[in-house]
Amino acid sequence: MSAPEPIPGARLLFSNDAAVAQLNHGSFGLVPIPVQRAQQRLRDEMEANPPRFFGVGLEERVAHVRRHLAAFIGADPDGTALVENATTGVAIVLAGLDLGTGDEVVTTDHGYGAVDLAVDELCRRTGASRRVARLPLTAQDDDAVGAVLDAVTGRTRLVIVDQITSPTARVLPVRRIVEAVRGRAGERVAILVDAAHAPGILPDPVAGVDADFWVGNFHKWAYAPRGTALLTVAARWRDRIRPLAVSWSQPAGFPGNLEWVGARDYTPWLAAPVGLFVLRSLGVDAVRRHNVALAEHGQALVAAALDVDVPARTGLPMAVVPLPPGTAGDPAAVVALRRRISDELTAEVALNSWRGQGYLRLSAQVYNREEDFQRLVEGLPKLLGR
C-alpha cells in the first residue's frame, strides 16, 4: 500500500507548525486559514460595536447557520440546535431526563470517557445506575447490536451509543441499534447517538437514524472553529429540553433557548459555514478518500515498525495501533507517554487505554504527508524501548 497523492494546494490552507507531525486531528481539529480569517472579521465586527452586534439580527444569523449545518448532516433544522460541543450536548440531554432511583443508563465500553463521567455523576446524584455493554474491538454489526440489546432491561431509560468511537476508531451500526432497542422497548427507552466525529466523515450521518438525540462536532472533520456542534432532538422531547443556563430566550423554547445565552462568543458558529465551503472546494469525497487512505497507510507503517497486528480496516481517517503489552495501560501512563512522544519526537498523537491495553490513534488530514508517520516509524520503537 502506498500513500495517496496529496490534494493540490490543500496543505497551504492550514497554519500548523511544520516542525510538528500533527497526527491528532481527531481530538481538536485544525481550523483552515480562510475560516480563521472569517472568524477574526466577525470578532472585529463584534468589538467595533458590541450592542449592535448582539442586538441587531444576531438570532437570525445564528438560525441561518443552523439551517446550513443541519442540511450538511441530513438533519431537520427545526429539530436542531447549535451547542458548543458534543459533551455539552450530552449534558443537556442528561439534564432533561429526570432519572431516579432504580433507573438505568446503558453505555458501551467504546464510549468517550467524559460522557461516562457525566453519566456516573448523574447516577450518583439521582440513584440511577449505569450498565456497560462490552463489545469486542472488531465486533461485527450483529455482535454490536446484540451486546447493546442484552444490556437493556426493564429499568433502562437511556441508551448512549457512539456513531464513531473515539478510543477505538470504529463505526457502530447505530441505525440497527436504534431499531433493535425500539423493537424491544418502544419509546420507553430514549436513545442518544454520540456522533462527535461524524460530521465531515460520514455522509448525512443523521438521516435515517431516528434516534431521540444525536450530537456531533463540526470542529473535528468539518473545518469549523472549535465550539461548534449540533444537537438534534426528536419532536417528543423538544418541550423537555432544558438549557444548562437559563437566559432571556427561555420563553422561545427549543432551539432558541439553547442557542441564545446573552454575551457568549457566537463567532465560531457564524464562521462555521466557511469551513464547509473550504471542504466542498477541496471536494468532500476527495478529502474523505485521501484521509482514509493515508490513515490506513500510516497505520500499516507504524504497526510494522512496532511489530504488532492491527485491527481490520474501518474506512475512517483515524486508525488505531495496539502498543506492546504493558505500555500505556492506565490513564497516568497514557498521559506520560503522550507527553514523551510530543517532546522527544515532536509528534502529536492520541493515546488511549482500552481494557488495560494501550492504543495509539492516528489521524490523517489533507495537511499530512507520509513523512509525518515516518517520524513515529523511526523514533517510537526506540522511545518505547527506553
CATH of the domain at 80: 3.40.640.10
The residue-averaged pLDDT of 108-132 equals: 97
Residue 263 scores a pLDDT above 90: no
For 243, 274, 300, 323, 354, the CA distances from 306, given in Å and listed in that order, are 47, 40, 10, 8, 18
Whether 83 and 91 have beta carbons less than 8 Å apart is answered as no
**Whether residues 373 and 314 fall in one domain:** yes
- Based on the fold, state whether residues 51 and 83 are members of the same structural domain: yes
Residue 1: its pLDDT value, please? 72
**φ and ψ at residue 134, rounded to 5 degrees:** -95, 120
Q: What is the pLDDT of residue 303?
A: 97
307 and 201 part of one domain:
no
pLDDT of res. 18: 93
Q: Are residues 254 and 327 in the same domain?
A: no
Tell me, what's the pLDDT at 293? 98
Per DSSP, the residues of 282-333 read H-HHHHHHHHHHHHHHHHHHHHHHHT---PPP-SSSEEEEEPPTTSS-SHHH
Q: What is the domain extent for residue 342? A: 10-30+283-385
What values do phi and psi take at 215, rounded to 5? -140, 135
Give dist(CA 367, CA 22) in Å, integer: 9
Handedness of CA 93, 96, 97, 101 (dihedral sign): positive
How many domains does the chain contain in total? 2
Last-in-domain residue among 227, 248, 277:
277
- pLDDT, tens digit, 9 for 90 and up, residues 187-240: 999 999 999 999 999 999 999 999 999 999 999 999 999 999 999 999 999 999
For residue 386, the model assigns a pLDDT of: 78
φ/ψ of 359, rounded to 5, equals -130, 135
> In terms of domains, do 156 and 61 share one?
yes
